[in-house]
Amino acid sequence: MRCVAVFVGINHASAKLDFANNVQLSLTLAALSLGLWWTFDRSRSGLGLGITIAFLATLITQLLVYNGVYQYTSPDFLYIRSWLPCIFFSGGVTVGNIGRQLAMGVPEKPHSD
């Protein structure tokens, strides 16, 4: 649950915080995303999943923007915003942690009716 809260915080920060330029925003979000992975996962598979999701989702987004399906008002990195891979990375780590917790099969507490 804490991982999801940090992910929501990273998303909120990308939308609400004002930085001097997009490089500062991108580097800050990259550090926060790696911090999310380091705090809640620390596994090679989690890092690999985050990087893979970030790469594939960014590639798909670039293709959609390039083909005119949608567009950004001020793209700054190959048709998209430069901070988008950081959001995809932290989302991949978060979803991977949720999947891992579900796969572990935490026993349910008995109900007292």
pLDDT digits (tens, 9 = 90+) for 49-90: 999 999 999 999 999 988 989 888 777 777 788 888 999 999
Cα–Cα distance, 4 to 2 (Å, whole number): 5
Q: How many CB atoms lie within 10 A of CB 57?
A: 17
Average pLDDT over every residue of 101-105: 83
pLDDT higher for 108 or 31? 31
Count Cα neighbours of 109 within 13 Å in the Cβ-side half-sphere: 3
Query: Does residue 113 register a pLDDT over 70?
Result: no
For 43, 61, 98, 111, the CA distances from 52, given in Å and listed in that order, are 14, 14, 17, 40
Report whether 87 contacts 29 (CB < 8 A). Answer: yes
| Bridge partner residues of 77 (DSSP) | 80
